[in-house]
């Protein structure tokens, strides 16, 4: 199989790489993280101006009709800069859910704005006790006249503190953990009955807990039939995260190799020590294996929903999770104490890699999901 990039894909990769390289110095990232938004609004606007937020959307919606491969190319560069902007949450996941379930009016009003970068959206699927189970939804929605009101609590809504719209899952029928009876709603976070508790995450980003008390929500798609779309779009988000992890791992490996070449002990660079060379080779081997699985995930991210697609995405996430943690741990070990300090960028790459390994399922979760598919088959 030919894995060479097309000319257009190479241009896209170069554009994203140049933007990240010019804007996201380590010092600037610390400033962005400490800001009220928790990321650079200027950088977000630049993503929109360059068309990078429009890549996955259809041309009739203001996009470029890109596939999972184009999304991976952007996410890999964002990973190399450990960028703080909620690109995956807004463009890939929220945009994907609206594109799959929304009516024509919702698509026209929201997707064009997301594609241009004018609207930053977020997705609230997780709850404090669901532990990666998308069907475990305790937030409820009740019909009120021609509309709906939502009550409940959502957890770890990345980018939810600055989002103009939040896509929220709520139960309209069935029991807790039933796949049927789950609906999606578009919620204005500034409307009555909505409150947020904002906090910083361990990797320097910001998220929030979302509290809903009879808050108004606009139904997205048919009532009670959202689970399949949630699972499908979560698969696209997993593929995007795999691409981001590869970018972060690649830079972490580069940082470690440079350190081994410059740090001296007993009068020689520690990279001359054979045992450290072997550990560096192990890091690169894990990176290359993760890269292969990230490419696989990107190639099938937009395929039709199927058990085979889900199994391969779980396999990719499992391997990328293991590789991400291994690279993060070895980066710290080979650097020594300096890698644990806030002032050194290696620590921030390690923290982001650990966070990615827990988003949308850790390795235990995806190993179980993959093995369950084998049993069914």
Rounded to whole angstroms, what are the CA distances from 85 to 148, 163, 244?
A: 31, 11, 12
- For residues 83 and 47, the answer to whether their CB atoms sit within 8 Å is no
Taking residues 189-206, what's their average pLDDT? 96
Q: What percent of the chain has pLDDT over 70?
A: 99
- For residues 376 and 370, the answer to whether their CB atoms sit within 8 Å is no
- Backbone φ, ψ for residue 350 (5° rounding): -65, -45
Which residues 6+ apart lie within 8 Å of 15 measured at CB? Answer: 50, 52
Q: Which residue has the higher pLDDT, 375 or 71?
A: 71
Taking residues 367-372, what's their average pLDDT? 91
Q: Categorize the per-residue pLDDT at 2 as very low, low, confident or very high, splitting at 50, 70 and 90.
A: low
Q: Which two tokens stand for residue 344?
A: 């050194």
Q: Decide yes or no: CATH 1.10.540.10 for domain 7-118.
A: yes
pLDDT at 377: 55
Q: What percent of the chain has pLDDT over 90?
A: 87
Burial of residue 138, with CB atoms counted within 10 A of its CB: 0-12 exposed, 13-18 middle, 19 or more buried: middle
Which residues on adjacent β-strands are paired with residue 142?
Answer: 149
pLDDT tens-digit map of 310-334: 999 999 999 999 999 999 999 999 9
pLDDT at 359: 95
pLDDT at 248: 98
Judge if 122-226 and 228-376 fold alike in CATH terms: no
- For residues 221 and 191, the answer to whether their CB atoms sit within 8 Å is no
Closest CA to 16 of 49, 41, 40: 49
Mean per-residue pLDDT over the chain, rounded = 94
pLDDT at 59: 87
pLDDT at 267: 86
CATH fold of the domain at 122-226: Butyryl-CoA Dehydrogenase, subunit A; domain 2 (2.40.110)
Closest CA to 246 of 19, 13, 61, 89: 13
Q: Categorize the per-residue pLDDT at 376 as very low, low, confident or very high, splitting at 50, 70 and 90.
A: low
Q: Categorize the per-residue pLDDT at 268 as very low, low, confident or very high, splitting at 50, 70 and 90.
A: confident
Each domain of the chain, given as residue ranges in start order, spans 7-118, 122-226, 228-376
Rounded to whole angstroms, what are the CA distances from 55 to 35, 51, 111, 200?
A: 28, 7, 12, 29
pLDDT at 266: 84
Taking residues 48-70, what's their average pLDDT? 92
Q: Categorize the per-residue pLDDT at 1 as very low, low, confident or very high, splitting at 50, 70 and 90.
A: low
- The helix/strand count (H/E) of the chain reads as 13, 9
pLDDT at 374: 78
Q: Categorize the per-residue pLDDT at 146 as very low, low, confident or very high, splitting at 50, 70 and 90.
A: confident
pLDDT at 222: 94
- For residues 141 and 148, the answer to whether their CB atoms sit within 8 Å is yes
CATH superfamily, with its number, for domain 228-376: Butyryl-CoA Dehydrogenase, subunit A, domain 3 (1.20.140.10)
Q: Categorize the per-residue pLDDT at 79 as very low, low, confident or very high, splitting at 50, 70 and 90.
A: very high
- Cα gap 297→151, rounded to integer Å: 35
pLDDT tens-digit map of 94-104: 999 999 999 99
pLDDT tens-digit map of 156-196: 999 999 999 999 999 999 998 999 999 999 999 999 999 99
- Cα gap 357→75, rounded to integer Å: 15
Residue 342 pLDDT greater than 90, yes or no = no
Q: Where is average pLDDT lowest: 2-11, 39-48, 154-163, 248-257?
A: 2-11
pLDDT at 145: 84
Residue 361 pLDDT greater than 60, yes or no = yes
Q: Categorize the per-residue pLDDT at 33 as very low, low, confident or very high, splitting at 50, 70 and 90.
A: very high
> What DSSP string runs through 110-128?
IIHHHHHTS--EEEE---T
């Amino acid at each position: 199989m030919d894995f060479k990039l097309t000319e257009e894909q190479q241009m896209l990769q170069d554009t994203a790489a140049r933007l990240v390289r010019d804007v996201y110095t380590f010092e600037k990232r610390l400033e962005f993280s400490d800001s009220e938004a928790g990321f650079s609004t200027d950088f977000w606007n630049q993503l929109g101006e360059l068309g990078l937020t429009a890549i996955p959307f259809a041309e009739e919606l203001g996009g470029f009709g890109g596939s999972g491969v184009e999304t991976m190319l952007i996410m890999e560069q964002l990973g190399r800069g450990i960028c703080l902007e909620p690109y995956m949450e807004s463009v890939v996941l929220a945009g994907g859910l609206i594109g799959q379930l929304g009516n024509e009016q919702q698509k026209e009003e929201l997707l064009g704005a997301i594609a241009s970068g004018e609207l930053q959206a977020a997705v609230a699927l997780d709850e404090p006790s669901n532990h990666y189970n998308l069907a475990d939804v305790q937030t409820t929605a009740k019909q009120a006249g021609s509309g709906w009101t939502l009550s409940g609590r959502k957890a770890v809504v990345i980018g939810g503190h600055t989002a103009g719209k939040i896509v929220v899952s709520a139960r309209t029928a069935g029991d807790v953990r039933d796949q049927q009876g789950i609906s999606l709603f578009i919620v204005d976070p500034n409307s009555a009955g909505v409150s947020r508790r904002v906090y910083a995450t361990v990797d320097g980003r910001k998220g929030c807990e979302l509290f809903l008390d009879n808050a108004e929500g606009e139904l997205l798609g048919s009532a009670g039939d959202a689970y399949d779309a949630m699972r499908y779009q979560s698969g696209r988000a997993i593929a995007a995260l795999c691409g981001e992890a590869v970018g972060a791992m690649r830079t972490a490996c580069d940082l470690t190799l440079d350190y081994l070449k410059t740090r001296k002990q007993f009068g020689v660079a520690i990279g001359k020590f054979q045992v450290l060379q072997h550990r560096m080779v192990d890091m690169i081997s894990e990176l290359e294996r993760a890269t292969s699985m990230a490419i696989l995930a990107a190639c099938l991210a937009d395929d039709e929903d199927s058990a085979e697609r889900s199994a391969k995405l779980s396999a990719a996430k499992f391997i990328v999770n293991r590789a991400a943690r291994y690279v993060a741990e070895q980066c710290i070990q080979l650097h020594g104490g300096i890698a644990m300090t806030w002032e050194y960028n290696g620590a921030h790459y390690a923290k982001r890699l650990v966070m990615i390994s827990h988003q949308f399922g850790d390795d235990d979760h995806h190993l179980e999901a993959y093995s369950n598919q084998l049993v069914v088959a």
